[in-house]
A and B are shown apart, each in its own frame.
Chain A
Amino acid sequence: MAKVKIATDWLDACAGCHMSLLDIDERIVELVKHVEFTSSPITDLKHPPKEGVDVGILTGAVGTTHQEEVAKRMRERAKILIAVGDCAVFGGICTMRNFFDKEEVLRRGYIETESTDAEGKVPRSEELGKPLDRVKAVNEVVKVDIHIPGCPPPAKALWYALTELLQGRIPVLTGDLLTYE
């Protein structure tokens, strides 16, 4: 049987959710017998292949136009999209800026921080994604098939979800696999 293809990517994220994925430890050896990790932010190949993958994993919230594109690309290329972590599922801690005006947040972040000298300026290069007015959960941008909340989700929840999918079942998180913290 061909290996199941999995691609991961991150949006407005701290990398903690990817760490949690690595925290499945030696079980990852078992996992790669059955799956192929095509791409991830922590491997050489960053982008999900054009020919598509079976499972796409997104961590982090959607805070910029760039992240919106990344989320849409993953959706297009993945049969099943999993939102992993509180930021991807709910918006999480990134939404803290939603309580403020966007320009005020940029000014505070790039100009007024205590460690910024007089040269501080807001990066506005055309090559950069533009901050959205409001940080969103992934499911506010694209359709999400499976949600795994947690900050980060426990490794056993990710292991459970992936092994359930490998056996052709849609995972339903219960007990201590479902956590918001």
Chain B
Amino acid sequence: MATVNITINGQKVLAKAGQTVLEAALDAGVDIPRLCHHPAVRPYGACRVCLVEITGQRTLQPACTFPVSEGMEVFTETPKVVEARRFVLHLLFSERNHYCMYCQMSGDCELQALAYRYGLDYWKYPRPFTPLPVDASRTYFVMDHNRCILCRRCVRACGELVGNYTLGVRQRGANTMICADMNVPFGESTCLSCGTCLQVCPTGALMDRHSAYRGLEKDVERVKSVCAACSVGCGVELVVRQGHLLRIEGDWNAPVNKGLLCELGRFKPLFEGRNRVRTPLVRRDGALKEATWDEALDAAAKGLKAGGAAVALASPRATNEALNAFVRTFGRLGARLGSLTPVPEFLAKPEGSLAALDEADLYVVVGVDLGKEFQVAGFAVRRGVTNRGARLVLLGDGKSDLARFARYRLDVSQVNEAVALAQGAENPVVVYGAGAGEVLPRLRAALEGKARFVGLVPGTNSRGALSLGLNGARPDGAKAAFILAADDQVDEGLLTALAGVRFLAVQASYFGPLVERADVVLPAATWAEKAGTLVNTEGRVQDLRPAAAAPAGVKTDEEILTALAARLG
């Protein structure tokens, strides 16, 4: 790689050609303050706190946008620079409401940290005290315009990263405001509630309802793990305080999602509506009663052995380790084994890389609604369409939220048109899901060697389940059944199919119709409470790490299955 010799504060630095002054300085360990800059979005140069002195330049220059060049001399903390930064901070504090003492971000706020760094012990300019609205129309987080510094990180995250362009600014100068769409309440806008804006906001303008006032960065631990909402397998950072899960953030370094998460991954687990199963339960005289682990495990073993014709089904939300224990335990019993989520034959093997979505100039999406499932893959399609001018062909799914991004909405009968469009593209990618069975063979036959195919498998860890021979099965004809439900939700069909089952043991984290129907309930840890590995749709094996504390009396899947195996003999 071409390099450039520069000096920063007199220190020789070998920068990479094409880097900005800020990037070169950070690589060299020199911290230049910034507010509008975020490494995940493009440099913007709005806030002016990264101003530096560059020899030969008439005025101070923003380090975040200024490119390095051979022989450049940069000075990052001269009296002139510090004076300019203090001036910028005084201006920022003279707008809106930046009283720290009643802000939930106080202590973690980037604006406050800079004011401390540059010793602002008073404010130079009077404030206008214009009351600005607080928009609490979204379920998971609140926008307080009074705390906003108009850095536009949120706007750029929404557009550049998610490709959704819900956020923008309206008006000019002192009247500038962040707004959604054509200035509608955020909750009524095209916002997807993915929370990327929340994650990048430097101040208390965007406030997370779940974690607000529950702990500052100094009070919490961050545990890198993987999201279990779908088979995309996004990297997450679980923010926990004393065993309590406060917040879920996208891991900027994760290869799959590069910091993004969707509503299902970021917020849903924190707003779990189901009640937790906290003790083992055994059905006595028609009702589920609390029992000890020994009583429940004995009852489960007895019922499963006595019932004959047993079936054992596992949720694909279970880890590889749990599924292994599951297969060992019930294989020995001679039970029929399966998974709760059927995977069609054409999705049985991993195909394609999600990274291909950021290279495509044409998408053919078939048999999957990327607006509802696999949303982070959908974000890649959105940003491909809005930022790179890629074209989207929705084949057979006109109702998807992605429809407004589609250039072509075709019925499955028009598959030949989709093929023709793909033939004419440079880098077409076919994204398919479980509903693509009908047309996939035709697309494959026509586009083999031309298009890249990316398969999105239903079920979080279906890849792990399939590798152990577990695919969708129903308890039809069984007399006894064991269901490893983990923290999954089960569908009506399964409950109907369980009608003929005389004995049902369930391993579950939450109450629900399945637990209500069970004869024995074994309470299990949730996704955030256990260790293990999950395989994503691409076949990537990723680590799940325990972050939250499970309630006393709850065991992990492996612990339960091992104890049960001992009793099944």
Mask, B518-535, CB within 8 Å of A = 1, is 000000000000000000
Contact A137 B123, beta carbon cutoff 8 Å: yes
Mask, B79-109, CB within 8 Å of A = 1, is 0000000000000000000011110001100
Q: Provided the pairs A95-B129, A99-B129, A140-B126 are in contact, do residues A180 and B100 lie with their beta carbons within 8 angstroms?
A: yes
| Complex contacts, A95 vs chain B, CB 8 Å | 99, 127, 129
**Contact of B115 with A by CB under 8 A:** yes
State how many angstroms separate the Cβ of A181 from the closest Cβ of chain B.
5
**Contact of B121 with A by CB under 8 A:** yes
Residue of A nearest to B132 (CB): A99
| Complex contacts, A89 vs chain B, CB 8 Å | 121-123
State how many angstroms separate the Cβ of B561 from the closest Cβ of chain A.
50
**Contact of B286 with A by CB under 8 A:** no
**Contact of B131 with A by CB under 8 A:** yes
Residue of A93, A139, A147 near B101 (CB, 8 A) is A93
Residue of A90, A134, A181 near B129 (CB, 8 A) is A134
Q: Which of A55-95 contact B (CB under 8 A)?
A: 83, 86, 89-93, 95
Q: Provided the pairs A181-B106, A181-B107 are in contact, do residues A139 and B119 lie with their beta carbons within 8 angstroms?
A: no
Q: Provided the pairs A99-B129, A178-B116, A180-B112 are in contact, do residues A151 and B122 lie with their beta carbons within 8 angstroms?
A: no
Contact A172 B122, beta carbon cutoff 8 Å: no
**Contact of A174 with B by CB under 8 A:** yes
Contact B121 A92, beta carbon cutoff 8 Å: no
| Complex CA distance for A91 and B123, rounded to whole angstroms | 10
| Complex CA distance for A90 and B126, rounded to whole angstroms | 9
| Complex contacts, B129 vs chain A, CB 8 Å | 95, 98-99, 134
| Complex contacts, B101 vs chain A, CB 8 Å | 86, 92-93, 151, 180-181
Residue of B107, B112, B131 near A99 (CB, 8 A) is B131
Tally of chain A residues near chain B (CB < 8 A) = 27
Mask, A132-143, CB within 8 Å of B = 1, is 001001011000
Contact A137 B102, beta carbon cutoff 8 Å: no
Residue of B100, B115, B121, B123 near A148 (CB, 8 A) is B121
State how many angstroms separate the Cβ of A153 from the closest Cβ of chain B.
10
| Complex CA distance for A27 and B388, rounded to whole angstroms | 67
Contact B121 A178, beta carbon cutoff 8 Å: yes
Mask, B111-137, CB within 8 Å of A = 1, is 010011001011100110101000000
Contact A93 B102, beta carbon cutoff 8 Å: yes
Q: Provided the pairs A99-B129, A180-B106 are in contact, do residues A173 and B121 lie with their beta carbons within 8 angstroms?
A: yes
Contact B119 A173, beta carbon cutoff 8 Å: yes
Residue of B nearest to A97 (CB): B129
Contact B131 A147, beta carbon cutoff 8 Å: no
State how many angstroms separate the Cβ of B136 from the closest Cβ of chain A.
17
| Complex CA distance for A144 and B121, rounded to whole angstroms | 12
| Complex contacts, A179 vs chain B, CB 8 Å | 116
**Contact of A149 with B by CB under 8 A:** yes
| Complex CA distance for A91 and B102, rounded to whole angstroms | 13
Contact B99 A149, beta carbon cutoff 8 Å: no
| Complex CA distance for A86 and B115, rounded to whole angstroms | 14
Contact A90 B119, beta carbon cutoff 8 Å: no
| Complex CA distance for A178 and B116, rounded to whole angstroms | 7
Contact B131 A172, beta carbon cutoff 8 Å: no
Residue of B115, B126, B127 near A180 (CB, 8 A) is B115
Q: Among B101, B121, B126, B131, which residue has the most Cβ atoms of chain A within 10 A?
A: B121
Residue of B107, B122, B131 near A137 (CB, 8 A) is B122
| Complex contacts, A99 vs chain B, CB 8 Å | 129, 131
Residue of A nearest to B116 (CB): A178
| Complex CA distance for A148 and B101, rounded to whole angstroms | 14
Contact A90 B99, beta carbon cutoff 8 Å: yes
Contact A147 B99, beta carbon cutoff 8 Å: no
Mask, A91-134, CB within 8 Å of B = 1, is 11101001110000000000000000000000000000000001
**Known interface pairs A95-B129, A147-B122, A148-B121; 12 further A-B residue pairs with C-beta atoms within 8 A, sorted by A's residue number:** A86-B99, A86-B101, A93-B102, A137-B123, A140-B126, A149-B121, A172-B119, A173-B119, A174-B119, A178-B119, A180-B100, A181-B100
15 A-B contacts (beta carbon < 8 Å)? A89-B121, A90-B122, A92-B101, A93-B101, A95-B127, A137-B123, A139-B122, A149-B121, A172-B119, A173-B119, A178-B119, A180-B100, A180-B101, A180-B106, A181-B100
